[in-house]
């Protein structure tokens, strides 16, 4: 299963620190590419990753131990093979859009 994390700007640094501690070996969420309007500035970021059952449990334990942070993090699991559109659907549920940029 894939894990999708959508989170508010306030917890991005904390999330990245925890991801690094769990072995991500890099920044999990860089730019804030999501907002309610689909325009800048970004208010939320996201990442998707395949976690082992052991890592999933570690994440669950981490969020349970930090309810103030967990309240700002939306964690959902999906099957990348059968639900390729899940990330966009989840964004819609959360009232968020990918920020539309002009072609670079």
Partner 1 sequence: MNPFRRRIQTAMQQGGGAAAFSPLDISGLQLWLDASQIVGLNDGDPVATWSDASGNGYAVTQGTASARPTYKTGVVNSKPVVRFDGVDDWLDNGTFAVNQPCTWFCVAKRTGGHPSYGFVFDSVGADPTRQALIYTVGSTKWTLYAGSLVDESGTTGAVFKSIQAVFNGASSKIIVGGTETTVNPGSQNLANGVRIGQVAGAGGFVFGGDVAELGCYTGVLSAGNLALLQGYLNSKYGL
Of 21, 31, 71, 93, the one binding partner 1 (CB under 8 A) is: 31
Please give the backbone phi and psi of residue 58, each rounded to the nearest 5 degrees, phi first: -65, -40
**Is the distance from CB of 56 to CB of 9 less than 8 angstroms?**
no
**Among 43-51, 57-65, 66-74, the segment contacting partner 1 (CB under 8 A):** 43-51
9 binds partner 1 (CB under 8 A): no
Q: What are phi and psi of 46, to 5 degrees?
A: -150, 160
Q: What's the chain's length in residues?
A: 104
Interface ranges with partner 1 (CB under 8 A): 2, 4, 19, 23-33, 42, 46-50, 80-81, 84-85, 87-88, 97-98, 100-101, 103-104
């Amino acid at each position: 299963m894939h894990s999708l994390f959508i989170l508010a700007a306030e917890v991005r640094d904390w999330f990245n620190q925890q991801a690094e501690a769990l072995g991500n070996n890099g920044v999990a969420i860089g730019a804030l590419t999501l907002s309610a309007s689909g325009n800048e500035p970004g208010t939320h970021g996201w990442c998707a990753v395949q976690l082992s059952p052991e890592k999933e449990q570690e994440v669950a334990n981490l969020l349970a131990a930090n309810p103030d942070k967990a309240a700002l993090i939306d964690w959902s699991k999906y099957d990348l093979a059968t639900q390729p559109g899940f990330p966009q659907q989840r964004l819609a549920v959360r009232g968020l859009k990918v920020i539309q940029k002009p072609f670079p």
